[in-house]
Amino acid sequence: MPDDVHVRARQLIERQPVEGITVGERQWLEAHLESCPACSGRAQATNQAIRNLRSIAVPTPPGLAARTQMRVYLRAQEIRPRQAGWVMWTSFALSWLLGVASAPFVWRGFEWAGRLTGLPTLWLKLTFGLWWGLPAAIAAGIWVMEKRSNEEVER
């Protein structure tokens, strides 16, 4: 059992600077370090090693940060159209599925409005077609414009 306490203390000492530990774990660790000189020495050595590592200056080649930023930007531009296409096709499919599922109910609503207002059946059919087709046409237009703007950026 005593070894388990020291193993837990060692794990918390190692996790604290990297991942962080909860308040309860920190309180337990502090109480344990007050009563255990071996674990306290290990914690001090770990903290000193981390301070030493942080104080080391690592020289980087000139322009490394700018090149890295450019590569990240280019990769994001490469990935973005694929993600946008997936989202767009999913929204197209969802739009059509919901349109098909709700079409009978909407048509009944248009019939009711037609009887109430006395509008001709042809007018009701046209407005129903617009209700169903216009959102898809707008989404397709947005998709085409987005695709053209992506192609222009790539040039």
Domain shared by 23 and 94, yes or no = no
Alpha-carbon span 125 to 106, nearest angstrom: 11
Alpha-carbon span 13 to 26, nearest angstrom: 9
Alpha-carbon span 115 to 18, nearest angstrom: 71
Q: Which among 21, 37, 55 is the end of a domain?
A: 55
Domain shared by 40 and 11, yes or no = yes
The residue type of 93 is A
Domain shared by 7 and 68, yes or no = no
Q: What is the mean pLDDT of residues 109-114?
A: 86
Q: What is the mean pLDDT of residues 122-142?
A: 82
Alpha-carbon span 93 to 109, nearest angstrom: 24
State the pLDDT at residue 64. Answer: 87
- Name the residue with higher pLDDT: 143 or 125: 125
Q: Is 16 helix (H, G, I), strand (E, B) or coil?
A: coil
8: containing domain: 2-55
Domain shared by 70 and 40, yes or no = no
State the pLDDT at residue 1. Answer: 44
Mean pLDDT of the chain: 83
pLDDT in tens, 3-62: 688 899 999 998 988 888 999 999 999 999 999 999 999 999 999 998 888 888 888 888
| pTM metric for this prediction | 0.39
Domain shared by 81 and 138, yes or no = yes
Beta strands in 21-149 (DSSP E): none
Q: What is the mean pLDDT of residues 111-138?
A: 84
**Residue 81: pLDDT over 70:** no
